[in-house]
Amino acid sequence: MARVFDPKSGQRGLFDALIDASAAHGLMKPILEDQDRKPLTYRDLIRACFALGRKIAVRTKRAERVALLLPSSAGAAVTFFALQAFARTPVMLNFTSGARNIKAALDLSEAKLVLTSRRFVAQAKLEELIEDLEAVATVLYLEDVRASIGLPDRLYALAAGSAPRLFRKAVKPGDIGVILFTSGGFAAPRGVVLTQANVVSNALQVAAHIDIDPNWTIFNPLPVFHSFGLTVGVVLPLLCGVKAFEYPSPLHTKMVVDLIRETKADVLLATDTFLGQYARAAEPGDLDSLILAVCGAEKVRDSTRAMMAEKFGPVMVLEGYGATEAGPVIAANQPEANRPGAVGGIMPGMEYRLEPVEGIAEGGRLFVRGPNVMAGYLNAAGVIEAPTDGWHDTGDIGVFEEGGALRLLGRAKRFAKIGGEMISLQAVEDLAADVWPDCWRAVVSIPDAKKGERLVLVTDEPGAVIADLLRHAQAVGAPDIAVPRKIVKVGYPVLLGTGKTDYAAVQRIAAAER
């Protein structure tokens, strides 16, 4: 059974929470690993944080915002906590978002130092991006920092590792823990300020909601610039005594599958799109070690669940739901209460309410409040705009089913008004998924002179035709107006680096085909 969440337990700094976890689970417990296959114990991790953090600290001042341009890796985790140990604020940059958005993020966060890796820049072919960033910030390579660590630094790290609470810089629970940026799937990314307590609380909320075994290994291929990859993939396992295996890209399908088999991972973090790719690529036995596949960021399709059940029966797919502004986890299914089609119960310690939406009969617009909800958005003047009375408007329409599970009906902005009726674009996507279960699909609306709006389906399914979709809609009782009258075919899924559909790009594709 999951534990009871104590709100007071989250009122700590991130590095203090790491120190507490090392004491609870043992300094010598292997806790962090990546593709280099050099496991770190809690003691190794804490010493590395002090050695690296000391070198960064001489270049920065307390509370300074320092940007990280790094993939999911042990190095990224060490760097994140190294900044925490010296009371510097990590700013997580989305290296897939392009130079313009990254420079805007640097400007918004006022970060003047970017930490990255030569190896990563070379492998990801980011040389041109680095040239652009050097015009607005100092770029510091971690390889150079590590090479500068000498005997005095190592002796300092040894001493600090023996008494970390004496050497770390104290912070308050309400101090900034990290600055992240929203995915930008519908609009320009926004800077989200999470406090120390926001991140710690959210990790502990998940641990109270789902019974986590410290003997597990969590495999995280999701990017640490995304709140799911950071909080659930890095912070949660380290605070809960669970070994985290970090991998730099969810797109390396065969490598991810091979490493899951080699590491005997128990839990996989994924999105529906990536989980489907791993399931198709995996051979019998490859995923036998998995107990749970935890999915967020997009709805899990029935076809993905069916494929997982057919090929890897014992693996349970748990769908959750969140938002960067909430740390990110808002709701999640539980192994003992797993409801396909719903995203599970609200995290312990959170309040929620549904507000009616004109034209939508079922459910309402979801607002949440709790210890994991952000300090606020960072505006252009450098001011943090706090949510009103602590309530965050998720922008999602949902309904609570019997037993308390939340079922999402779609985003408020993802409803189209056609002939006077409100149509959920998510529901239309579900119709397409029923007809072509193995395809990627996205539905958007564009202006229509007669009916106000009309629907366009964008998909990588080469055989998609309107007649098949219309036939299925009629069979299940869906209204004809919920069937797109135009299909645009693309060669590959249109995704953000987080694995979410890039609806802004889809909208441009649909508009261009008018």
C-alpha angle 392-205-88 in degrees, rounded to nearest 5: 75
Q: What is residue 72's three-state secondary structure?
A: coil
CATH class of 419-512: alpha beta
Domain coordinates in residue numbering, the chain: 7-400, 419-512
The DSSP output letter for 501 is: B
Query: How high is the pLDDT of residue 418?
Result: 75
Residue with tokens 């320009």: 188
Pairing of strands 376-378, 191-195: antiparallel
Residue 17, Ramachandran bin (φ over 0: left; ψ between -120 and 50: alpha; else beta): alpha
Amino acid at 378: L
pLDDT < 70 positions in the chain = 1-2, 183-188, 419-420, 449, 451, 498, 514
CA distance 322 to 343: 9
Query: How high is the pLDDT of residue 226?
Result: 92
Query: How high is the pLDDT of residue 449?
Result: 67
Q: Which of 3, 5, 407 is nearest to 202 (CA)?
A: 5
Query: How high is the pLDDT of residue 30?
Result: 97
CB 455 within 8 A of CB 425: yes
Tokens of 24: 């609870």
The predicted-structure confidence for 274-293, as pLDDT tens digits, reads as follows 998 999 999 988 999 999 99
CB 221 within 8 A of CB 245: no
CA distance 256 to 246: 10
CB 345 within 8 A of CB 406: yes
Exposure class string for 308-324: b at 16+ Cβ within 10 A, else e: beeebeebbbbbbbbbb
Tokens of 378: 């960072």
The predicted-structure confidence for 130-159, as pLDDT tens digits, reads as follows 999 999 999 999 999 999 999 999 999 999
Q: Which of 153, 172, 168, 178 is nearest to 18 (CA)?
A: 168
CA distance 45 to 243: 12
CA distance 91 to 99: 16
Task: Output the 3-class SS for 311-363.
Answer: HCCCCEEEEEEECHHHCCEEEECECCECCCCCCCEECCCCEEEEEEECCEEEE
Query: How high is the pLDDT of residue 508?
Result: 87
CA distance 371 to 510: 40
CA distance 219 to 238: 13
CATH architecture of 7-400: 3-Layer(aba) Sandwich (3.40)
Q: What is the pTM of this model?
A: 0.87
Pairing of strands 441-448, 376-378: unpaired
